């Protein structure tokens, strides 16, 4: 535990408390500021303090809290669904497709017009590792684009391009797939091409922006893998709870230990 909040590992204390069902995150912040929370026997009053839910002992008003069981759900997010827990405009959300009323959140996002693998979990340490660019966890996509990117265009994507609003080049590992290749029976139409793309960091609309910079519009974008987790044979809108081995493999690849999980 870092009492001064400078340690970037672990999860924010108020988030851990909220996930454990103590109160809303805002109310938990008030508990911390009031000196009602102890971590490993030490009163913590600094908001943003990070803790390790696997090892730190956390108390509120002298009572040890029971951490919420960890949940891991792989979803095939369809197009038209947004990757959030709720939406003020009433649009369909990824969270609404998960069969539990317990707190669970998407790890990163897929654009509304993109589809494929989305992991939802309340394992904050894992989510942070999977999303943070410094850990370089691979994300694999198939993209259907207009036109047939030239070898030079592919080389520029691999080297990296500086896009508007970015301070450094963004890159992607890109390969053209055979004209006969298809995604579950959907071949590229005349004048289009399927690409295989791997990212090791994620910026907003990165794939679409990179390809647009080379003159190719993305017509369909499907994520099929996040680290060691694969989409498998899920269909749009379908999901499944991760098997113990899948969960342990994800945490091990992220440099985390295994832990008990529950639906």
Residues marked as catalytic: 111
- Residue position matching structure tokens 């102890």: 38
> How many beta carbons lie within 10 A of that of residue 45, not counting itself?
13
Q: What are phi and psi of 131, to 5 degrees?
A: -90, -30
CB of 108 closer than 8 Å to CB of 121: no
Rounded CA separation 141/6 (Å): 35
Tokens of 209: 């922006």
- Assign 240 to helix, strand or coil: strand
CB of 49 closer than 8 Å to CB of 23: no
Which residues, in sequence order, are bridge partners of residue 194? 144
């Amino acid at each position: 535990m870092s009492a001064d909040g400078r340690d970037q590992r672990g999860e924010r204390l108020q988030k851990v408390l909220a996930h454990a069902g103590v109160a809303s995150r805002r109310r938990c912040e008030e508990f911390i500021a009031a000196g009602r929370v102890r971590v490993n026997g030490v009163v913590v009053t600094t908001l943003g303090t990070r803790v390790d839910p696997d090892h730190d002992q956390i108390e509120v008003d002298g009572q040890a809290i029971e951490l919420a069981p960890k949940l891991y759900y792989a979803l095939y997010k369809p197009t038209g669904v947004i990757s959030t827990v709720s939406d003020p405009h009433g649009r369909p959300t990824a969270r609404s497709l998960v069969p539990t009323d317990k707190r669970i959140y998407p790890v990163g996002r897929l654009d509304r017009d993109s589809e494929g693998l989305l992991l939802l979990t309340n394992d904050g340490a894992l989510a942070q590792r999977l999303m943070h660019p410094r850990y370089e966890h691979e994300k694999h996509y198939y993209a259907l684009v207009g036109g047939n990117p030239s070898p030079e265009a592919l080389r520029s994507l691999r080297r990296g391009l500086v896009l508007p609003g970015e301070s450094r080049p963004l890159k992607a590992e890109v390969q053209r797939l055979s004209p006969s290749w298809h995604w579950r029976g959907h071949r590229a139409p005349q004048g289009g091409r399927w690409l295989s793309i791997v990212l090791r960091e994620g910026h907003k609309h990165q794939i679409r922006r990179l390809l647009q910079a080379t003159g190719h519009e993305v017509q369909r974008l499907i994520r099929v893998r996040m680290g060691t987790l694969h989409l498998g044979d899920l269909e749009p809108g379908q999901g499944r709870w991760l098997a113990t081995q899948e969960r342990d493999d994800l945490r091990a690849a992220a440099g985390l230990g295994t832990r008990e999980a529950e639906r």
